[in-house]
Amino acid sequence: MTTWADTLHLTNRVLEAAPLLPFISGYLRRVNLPPLYRLVYYYVGAKSLFYILDVVSRSVFRNNVYLFHLSTIVTVLLLSRVYYRLIDLGAVKKLLPPAIGVFMLVAVADALFLNKLFIDINSYSQACGSTILITLSLLHILQLSRNAQLLEQQPEFFFSIAVLVYSSYSVVTYVASNIIYSAGYDKATNIRLDTLISAPDALLYAVHMGLLAWMFSFFPLSINPRQALPYWLHYSRWRQRSYKLLGNNILPGIYS
C-alpha cells in the first residue's frame, strides 16, 4: 500500500529533474543568447549534469552529499558573475569579489572540517552563498524597477525572481536536514522527516527552473521550427504523385 511518504518522495524525485526544462529551452536558443545569458545557460547545464550524477551516486555509491557541496559552489560562482555584470552599482562591483572570496573560504572549511564532504550537506556554505544571492537579486530588482519598461517585459527580471524564490528557502532545508540527521532518530524517521522538509524545497526548485525557462523564451529560437524537421518531412517536398501510362497522364482532370 502506497503511503503519503512514498507519494511525496516520488514527487520530490520527479521535481529534481526540473533543470532539464530550462536546459532544453536554452539549448534551442543557444545561438541567439546574449553572452550574459549564456552564463545562465551554463548554470542550468551544470545543474542538469548534477541531476544525472545524483541519480548515479544514489544507486552506485549510496552517497550524494558531495554533490550538494559542489552544486552550491558552482551556483554561487556563476550566478554572482551574472549579477556582477547586471548591477550597475559601483559598491557591488567593489564588494562582490571579496564576498565571493569569503564564501569560498567558508565552502572549503565546510567541506573539509565542518560538515565534511561525504558526511553532511553544506549548511554553512549554503547559508553564506544564499545570503549573497538574495542580496544581489533584491538590488537587481530594485534597479529594474527604476526602468520605464515594465518588469514582466524584461527577461532579467525573471532571472532575479527565480534566484530570490529558491535561495530564500534553500537555507531552511539545508539547516533543518542537518538538525534531523544529528538528532539521533532511527533511520525510518530520518527519511520521513527529510522527505517532508525537502518537499517545499523541491517545489520551489522546480519554480526556480520554470522561471529560468520562461526567461529563455524571450529570445528567438536558433532554428526555424519548420527547418528543425527532418528533410523528408518538409511540407515543401510534398507532391501529389502523377499516374502516367506511356508518357500520358491517365488522370488529367486531377493531376494535370
Strands 248-249 and 244-245: antiparallel
pLDDT band at 142 (very low <50, low <70, confident <90, very high): very high
Q: Cα–Cα distances in Å, from 194 out to 121, 181, 225?
A: 12, 9, 43
Using CA atoms, how far apart are residues 38 and 155, in angstroms rounded to an integer? 13
In this prediction, residue 225 carries a pLDDT of 63
Adjacent-strand bridge partners of 248: 245
Select from 102, 219, 112 the least CA-distant residue to 158. Answer: 219
* Domains and their CATH numbers in the chain: 4-224 (1.20.1070)
pLDDT at 256: 45
Q: Which has the higher per-residue pLDDT, 162 or 169?
A: 162
Beta carbons of 58 and 111 less than 8 angstroms apart: no
Q: Which is nearest to 126 in space by CA: 169, 156, 181, 171?
A: 171
The confidence band for 108, taking pLDDT boundaries of 50, 70 and 90, is very high
Please state the rounded mean pLDDT for residues 57-81.
Answer: 95
Distance CA 102, CA 174 (A): 19
Whether 69 has a pLDDT exceeding 90, the answer reads yes
Q: Within the chain, how many helices (H) and strands (E) appear?
A: 9, 2
Mean pLDDT confidence for 197-219: 94
- Percent of the chain at pLDDT > 90 equals 64
What is the distance in angstroms between the CA of the first residue and the CA of the last residue of the chain? Answer: 67
pTM higher than the cut 0.95:
no
Which tens digit of pLDDT belongs to each residue from 224-240? Answer: 766 655 565 555 554 55
State how far the Cα of 140 lies from the Cα of 157, in Å rounded to an integer.
8
What pLDDT is stored for residue 180 in this prediction? 81
- Per-residue pLDDT tens for 46-56? 999 999 999 99
8 A C-beta contact, residue 159 and residue 83: no
Interval 134-158 mean pLDDT: 93
